[in-house]
Amino acid sequence: MHVLVIGSGLAGINAALLASEFADVTLLSKSDLQETNTQRAQGGIAAAVAALDDPALHAEDTIRAGAGLCDPAAVHALTIGGASAIERLLQLGVDFDRGGDGELALATEGAHSTPRVLHAGGDRTGLHIQSALIERLAAANVDVRIGVAVTHLAVEAGRCVGATTGGGETILADAVMLATGGAGALYQTSTNPGNATGDGVALAFRAGAVVRDPEFVQFHPTALVGSDSAFLISEALRGEGAVLLNAAGDRFMTDIHADAELAPRSVVAQAMTETMRRDGSDHVSLDISHRDSDFLRERFPGVYRGALQRGYDITAGPIPIAPAAHYHMGGVYTDIDGRTTVQGLFAAGECASTGAHGANRVASNSLLEAAVFSTRAIASVRRHASQAEFPHGEVTALRLHPQFGAPSWRALKQTMNEFVGISRTEEDLRYAMGRFNRWSEHREGLIDQSLALATLTARLIADAALQRTETRGSHLRLDYPNANPDWQRHSLWQLARE
């Protein structure tokens, strides 16, 4: 059996390592192995491992934040899988931080009702996970190819049989696993690396798979303003008492939610956006300088140094922050065993929509999702499982030009930032869709295949955001400010059959 894994983050490498126990494995990564969202993770990985915690409580917190769109079976699989995912990461060599008593140290983050976030190297959890995985991969029997971008999936008689790379090579496989990560880099302002352009969603969509809820893009509340890329200031700072201040220097989250700065991420990001609008400012401030500076340097070495390099000292006073595109809740529809609706095609990690996050992901649940569902997906591959059953609900079938793409990355990212951002309106979204339609009509020649994939995912996000005439979770429609019970359902998208 040959398994082709696309992506070198937590989902991809974990899958490749597991598959190498029973199959020949090829792993492709379009950039260096460590250029992943995984590598950038700061706060940590959530799992109900404390004596007083319980997967059922973790599930309750996850479902509460998910704004009515979590799939209980997926949430259950996620939270019940927490302890064994942590056990596996420990076995792979991830050195999670421990307290003086030798027990795993657990932090608090937004929407978690109890401390349950494990971290490594203080706030450098992703770096520690990625490094441990890369070390294991080097020792495993896996054919690893770096700098190889997949541009098409090969489908024969409805079955995915491999993938074609930018260089034109087709690699055949018995099972293809998408682990291509997120889509934050479709936006100008994003915490993601530049390669996080939603390729997996577009690849799967073109191959005929169902894509679910693409409109749900999470904007992380606290990215540093005034830096080249949106450098993330971990939510864990708020877990350690950081407060958000408006232009007058007053806390504003206390008036908005009982959990104040630790309210669900969408609530905080949207309250910040409204405060910035009222203040006529491009930022609010985050202040943790009341905590001991030695503690801050030790607990948040990555954030401390990263902010300092950009001219801000978190120990000295408030720093300017604003929301930035961070995480894609929508993605390739999978069942809880990582199966897509196309036979032979599996997906896990951020590119998948398992239903575990609903309309708003809880902090530190995505590393867990990548670990748990990549493991489940490879178990499906091993038992030669067929494709997922079709999800319930109405599917929008789209007919799209195969060479459809934006004229430039700049045009694409600017469109997403300005018209499909954190606060959306029908007027803006129609304007964005007008651009996508014009690009579709006028781009008949050969275009950059990566840009074509990115544009397709962006278009799905914009179209779904336009269709969803309500505000729910991370999807904020200024013209429909409330949740509409009729919309308590997923949006489903598929390529129209000729």
Determine the Cα–Cα distance for residues 213 and 425; give it in Å rounded to an integer. 18
Residue 151 binds ligand SIN (CB under 6 A): no
CA dist list (Å): 172 to 81, 93, 120, 491 = 32, 32, 38, 32
- Residue 57 CB, shortest distance to ligand FAD, in Å, is 18
199 contact, one of ligand SIN, ligand FAD, none, CB 5-8 Å limit per kind: ligand FAD
> Do 283 and 269 form a contact (C-beta atoms < 8 A)?
no
Residue 364 binds ligand SIN (CB under 6 A): yes
Nearer to ligand FAD, 369 or 463 (CB): 369
Residue 42 binds ligand SIN (CB under 6 A): yes
Touching ligand FAD, residues 44-103 (CB under 6 A): 44-45
Touching ligand FAD, residues 94-153 (CB under 6 A): 125-126, 149-150
- Residue 342 CB, shortest distance to ligand FAD, in Å, is 17
Residue 372 binds ligand FAD (CB under 6 A): no
Select which of 116, 124, 206, 265 is catalytic: 265
Residue 235 binds ligand SIN (CB under 6 A): yes
Determine the Cα–Cα distance for residues 13 and 29; give it in Å rounded to an integer. 10
- Residue 112 CB, shortest distance to ligand SIN, in Å, is 11
Determine the Cα–Cα distance for residues 139 and 147; give it in Å rounded to an integer. 20
What residues are paired with 339 via a beta bridge? Answer: 346
- Residue 182 CB, shortest distance to ligand SIN, in Å, is 10
Determine the Cα–Cα distance for residues 44 and 41; give it in Å rounded to an integer. 7
From edge to edge, which strands make up the β-sheet containing 170-172?
150-156, 159-165, 170-172
Provide the CA 186 distance to its chain's centre, in angstroms: 12
124 is catalytic: no
- Residue 437 CB, shortest distance to ligand FAD, in Å, is 25
| Three-class HEC string of 273-307 | HHHHHHHCCCCEEEECCCCCHHHHHHHCHHHHHHH
Helix (H), strand (E) at residue 379? helix 365-382
> Do 236 and 117 form a contact (C-beta atoms < 8 A)?
yes
Residue 210 binds ligand SIN (CB under 6 A): no
Residue 366 binds ligand SIN (CB under 6 A): yes
Helix (H), strand (E) at residue 224? strand 217-224
- Residue 486 CB, shortest distance to ligand SIN, in Å, is 30
Provide the CA 480 distance to its chain's centre, in angstroms: 25
Nearer to ligand FAD, 236 or 429 (CB): 236
Q: Which span sits near ligand SIN by CB under 6 A: 24-32, 169-177, 234-242, 422-430?
A: 234-242
Nearer to ligand SIN, 350 or 463 (CB): 350
Residue 130 binds ligand SIN (CB under 6 A): no
- Residue 191 CB, shortest distance to ligand SIN, in Å, is 8
Q: Which span sits near ligand SIN by CB under 6 A: 70-78, 155-163, 333-341, 361-369?
A: 361-369
DSSP letter, residue 261 = G
Residue 236 binds ligand SIN (CB under 6 A): yes
Question: How many helices (DSSP H) and strands (DSSP E) are in the chain?
Answer: 15, 22
Residue 62 binds ligand SIN (CB under 6 A): no
Residue 189 binds ligand FAD (CB under 6 A): no
Q: 319: closest CA among 200, 232, 209, 217?
A: 232
DSSP letter, residue 152 = E
Q: What is the CA radius of gyration of the chain?
A: 21
Q: Which residues bind ligand FAD (CB under 6 A)?
A: 6-12, 28-31, 35-38, 40-45, 125-126, 149-150, 179-182, 191-192, 195-196, 199, 232, 326-327, 349-350, 364-367, 370
> Which residues are known catalytic residues?
265
List residues binding ligand SIN (CB under 6 A).
Answer: 42-43, 234-236, 363-364, 366
